[in-house]
Structures are given as C-alpha cells and as structure tokens.
C-alpha cells in the first residue's frame, strides 16, 4: 500500500522545528500497524498537488494551525482537489484541518467551537460504526487541539463520533474517513504543545488539558482503524 500524506501544516516556528514534521508523524502512525506500507509527503501548503493519483492507493490530510476559512492562496485549489478525489471515490482520510477541509469542500460547514479551545485528551462517543471502526473502544480517547469544528456534515456523510455534543468524525461511503482529533500526535508532543499554548488557553483550560493528559489516547487502535479503512477501500 502506498499512501500520499497531504501536508497542510503551516507552522514553521522554532517549536515545530524541534519536533517531527506532520509527514513523519502520519508515517509513524500508519507504520505502527502496517510497517511495510510506503508513504510519500506532498506539501500542499507550499502549493504542491499530486500529479498522478494512480501512484497512490489513498491519501491522508494532516492538521494545520491555519483555518479552512483563511484567505491563503493554496486553500481554494486544495478544496477543489478534494472534490475531485470525492468524485473519483479515491480513499481519503482527514484529521483536524483535514477533517474540516473535507467537510467544507463537500458542502458541510465549519464554525468556531462554542466551547472555545478543545485541548488535551478528548472522549468520543461513537454514533455509528463502519466495517473499519467495529473494534474501536468506547469511549474513544484521542488527543485534541482545535477551536473550530464541523457544525454541519456534507449531505452524504454519516456521523461516526461526537465529543462533548459536537461532531468529531464522519464517513462517506467506504472512501472517506475523518476525525476532528490528532491520532498522529504522541503523548510527548501533545504535552509540549499544551504547555506552549498555556497563555492562549488561560489557567483554567490549561489545567484541565494537562490533567486530561494523565490518560493516554487510543492511538494504536485508531491507527488500526485507519489501516483497515484503506484496506477495505482497495477491495
């Protein structure tokens, strides 16, 4: 299996430079459960797009500190590219920004969260199951770092998970799978990121986030669901 990692992360700070890039994180995520799979990183935020989808069996869209609503020159073409992937029923997974970009591109809505920043470990209620999510634990624990969310799903989408009453994951047929959260983040990274964001979060939200990180995410189980998603889409 050969996956394209569509990197949308625009963080070029010293903090980002001190940690693995998203391409490496998503490669590590899938190789946690499928060590022989190949991954190629395509830098979407630098204006790159895959030249030939025939080179790949599927794609994963990363997170980003940018908003899908930001007037950045690469976002509108990328949303158009997502629509092309959907029309071709090309297997596509999206996390955080990727989840929101897929929703917006396909007719959904993305809004500012009424809960403010969602940071730390998030508990997700499963609303429906697919062939590739049958073995996920309930509740599903994943690391979160976002202040926007998908407030309305695309018409064809099936809601998979909710977090604190808000949509946090969906599927379209057997070729789109998303999560609002960050399965690629290690415990070390989400802890460091939360510490960095302390001034943004404020003391109450920061303490809540750090306390939540006493528990670990269901990273391995979720990685397995992503692998099974691509496997069933290829059949």
**pLDDT score recorded for residue 226:** 99
State the pLDDT confidence band at 84, using cuts at 50, 70 and 90: very high
Compute the mean pLDDT over every residue in the chain, rounded to the nearest whole number. 98
**pLDDT score recorded for residue 15:** 98
Confidence check: pLDDT of 180 > 90: yes
Q: What are the structural domains of the chain?
A: 2-233 (3.40.50.880)
Structure tokens at 150: 């998908």
- Residues 20-43 have pLDDT tens digits of 999 999 999 999 999 999 999 999
**pLDDT score recorded for residue 51:** 83
Torsional class of 231: left (φ above 0), alpha (ψ -120 to 50), beta (otherwise):
alpha
State the pLDDT confidence band at 52, using cuts at 50, 70 and 90: confident
**pLDDT score recorded for residue 114:** 97
Segments in 163-218 forming alpha helices (H): 187-196, 198-201, 203-212
CA distance 14 to 33: 30
**CB 90 within 8 Å of CB 4:** no
- Residues 106-163 have pLDDT tens digits of 999 999 999 999 999 999 999 999 999 999 999 999 999 999 999 999 999 999 999 9
**pLDDT score recorded for residue 72:** 98
**pLDDT score recorded for residue 233:** 98
Structure tokens at 112: 């500012």
CA distance 114 to 112: 6
State the pLDDT confidence band at 53, using cuts at 50, 70 and 90: confident
Neighbours of 132 (CB within 10 A): 20
> Residue 198 burial (CB < 10 Å; 0-12/13-18/19+)?
middle
With residues binned 3-state (H G I as helix, E B as strand, rest as coil), the percentages for the chain, rounded to 5, are 35, 25, 40
Q: Give the E-state strand segments of the chain in sequence order.
A: 2-7, 38-43, 58-61, 92-95, 109-112, 118-126, 140-146, 148-152, 158-163, 166-172, 176-179
**pLDDT score recorded for residue 129:** 97
Torsional class of 234: left (φ above 0), alpha (ψ -120 to 50), beta (otherwise):
alpha
């Amino acid at each position: 299996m050969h996956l394209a990692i569509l990197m949308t992360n625009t963080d070029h700070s010293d903090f980002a430079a001190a940690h693995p890039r998203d391409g490496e994180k998503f490669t590590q995520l899938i190789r946690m459960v499928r060590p022989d799979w190949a991954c190629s990183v395509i830098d979407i935020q630098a204006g790159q797009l895959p030249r030939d989808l025939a080179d790949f069996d599927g794609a994963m869209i990363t997170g980003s500190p940018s908003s899908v609503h930001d007037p950045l020159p690469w976002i509108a073409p990328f949303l158009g590219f997502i629509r092309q992937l959907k029309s071709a029923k090309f297997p596509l997974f999206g996390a955080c920004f990727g989840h929101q970009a897929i929703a917006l591109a396909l007719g959904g809505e993305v809004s500012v969260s009424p809960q403010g920043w969602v940071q730390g470990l998030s508990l997700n209620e499963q609303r429906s199951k697919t062939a590739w999510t049958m073995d996920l634990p309930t509740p599903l624990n994943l690391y979160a770092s976002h202040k926007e969310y998908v407030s309305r799903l695309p018409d064809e989408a099936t809601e998979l998970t909710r977090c604190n009453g808000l949509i946090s994951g969906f599927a379209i047929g057997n070729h789109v799978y998303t999560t609002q959260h960050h399965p690629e983040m290690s415990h070390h990274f989400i802890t460091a990121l939360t510490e960095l964001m302390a001034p943004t979060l404020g003391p109450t939200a920061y303490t809540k986030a750090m306390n939540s990180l006493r528990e670990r995410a269901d990273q391995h189980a979720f990685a397995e669901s992503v692998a099974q998603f691509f496997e069933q889409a290829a059949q």
